[in-house]
Structures are given as structure tokens and as C-alpha cells.
Amino acid sequence: MASSRSVNALFLSVLTCAALATACGGQSGDGKAGADQESERAAPAGTGYTSDQLRQALPTELSGYRRTGEPEAGEYASLKSIANFLQLQRQVTYDKPRCAKVTGASVALDEELRTVPAAVAIFSKGGGHSVSTTLMAVPNSTAERHVQVRMPEQCKQFRTKINGKWAEHEVVEAGSGDTGLGSRIVGVASTLNETAVKTWYVVLRGRGYLATIALYGPTATRAEAEQLARQTYDHAERILP
């Protein structure tokens, strides 16, 4: 039987953006999604990067963390971890249905992003902490729209149910940040019985791409999430033409 901690981790994986869903959902064995070759041949109009370029622009190391497996790249919705997230999402009940799309999951659930070139890398360290970093080739207007998403007041606290068990979530809206060409930060504290975990999301805009960074763990902090986001952005800017 799964422990309360493992059930709570499942809840979190369903509720977050694609970056954290990838961390909880695993990766493909060879680092390539099924549509990877197609997305490498041509990027969508208004973008200049292929999934292969984005994969190369992902950080190879993050302070205090070790990369887990090889980065995954391809069309966004074809990534194994994103497909797992979308499948799990259908199994979740929200006490406030409107809140389903206002945490980090707003990126993963955006229909416009399903076919864009994307790449993701996952890192971990002891104590149940993990980081996922995702890069997506999108027009600047699309990236800016996701940076500007804000949490409705009624979604600052909500509950989710899966397999008959309820988890409680409290959202700390940190608002805008100063990473990249614009960013937003959201923190979520989740509890199930005596189990508590925290997730911090950073969504930022770069030159022709959208990046998401999700930090997950019992002692995750905003300061560390912002530091990891800056490392991700700085590395991408050095690599991408």
C-alpha cells in the first residue's frame, strides 16, 4: 500500500505545470520523444529554435543537484512526462474546478503549446527534492501571456481528490520576478494528513522561448527556486543563437 507521502506526491504531480509533471512522471529512455524528428526539421512560425537546440540549451548542472537521466526533447505534448501528466489530470477532482489551470499547470494545459518544440531536464538531490527545467520555443507574445498569469483570490486555497483521498493546497502568490525578460513566481504548500511538501514555480520569458522551473521538496524555498531559474536562463542565453 502506498504511503501518505507517496500519495501526496502524486497529487502534486497532477496539479503542477509541465516542468514539475516531468519530474514526477519520468523520461523516455533515449531522450527523444516520438515527434522529435519532425520538430527538429522546422520550428513553428514566429519561433527560431528546434527541440534539439533547446535540449542543448538546458543546464547540464544545477548547484547542489545531480541530473537524472538524459534530457527529453520533441513536441511538447509528445514528451513522455507531459503525456503522463495529462493522463493523471483527468483523474483529479477539484473542490474549485476553476483552480485546475491557475497553478503551474496552466502551461501544461495550454492547447497552443501542444506542438511546439520543447526540451526538459530533471535534477534531484537527497531528502526528496527535485527540480525540472523546461524550454519551449514560442512567440514572445505567448511567453508574455504565461508570465502575466495571476492567481484568482478564490484559488489561494483549494483541495484536490484522487483515489478517494483529499489533499489541501495553500498558494502563496509571489507575483512578478526579475529573471529573464520577465517572470512570475508561485509557491504552493500541500498537505495530506501529516505529510507536507512545497513547490515553487518560476515561469520566465527569454529570447524566443518560454522556460519553466519547478522546485519540489519538503524544504523548498523561493530563494532557491529563483537561483535555479537564473542558472537556467543564463545557460540558455549563452547557448542559443
- Going residue by residue through the chain (241 aa), what tens digit of pLDDT does each one get? 455 556 555 555 554 432 234 354 444 445 555 444 444 545 554 458 999 999 999 999 999 999 999 999 999 988 887 777 777 777 888 898 888 776 666 777 788 898 999 999 999 998 889 999 999 999 999 999 999 988 888 888 989 888 788 888 898 877 888 899 999 999 988 888 878 889 899 999 999 999 999 898 889 999 999 999 999 999 999 999 8
**pLDDT tens, position by position, 31-87:** 555 444 444 545 554 458 999 999 999 999 999 999 999 999 999 988 887 777 777
Q: Backbone phi, then psi, for 44, in 5-degree steps?
A: -60, 155
- What is the residue-wise DSSP string for 61-125? -BTTBEE-S--EEEEGGGSHHHHHHHHHHTT-EESSGGGGGSSTHHHHT-GGGTTSEEEEEEEEE
Helix, strand, coil content of the chain in percent (nearest 5)? 35, 30, 30
Q: Which three cell numbers stand for residue 110?
A: 495550454
Domains delineated in the chain: 4-239 (3.40.1000.70)
Measured CA to CA, the distance from residue 19 to residue 104 in angstroms comes to 8
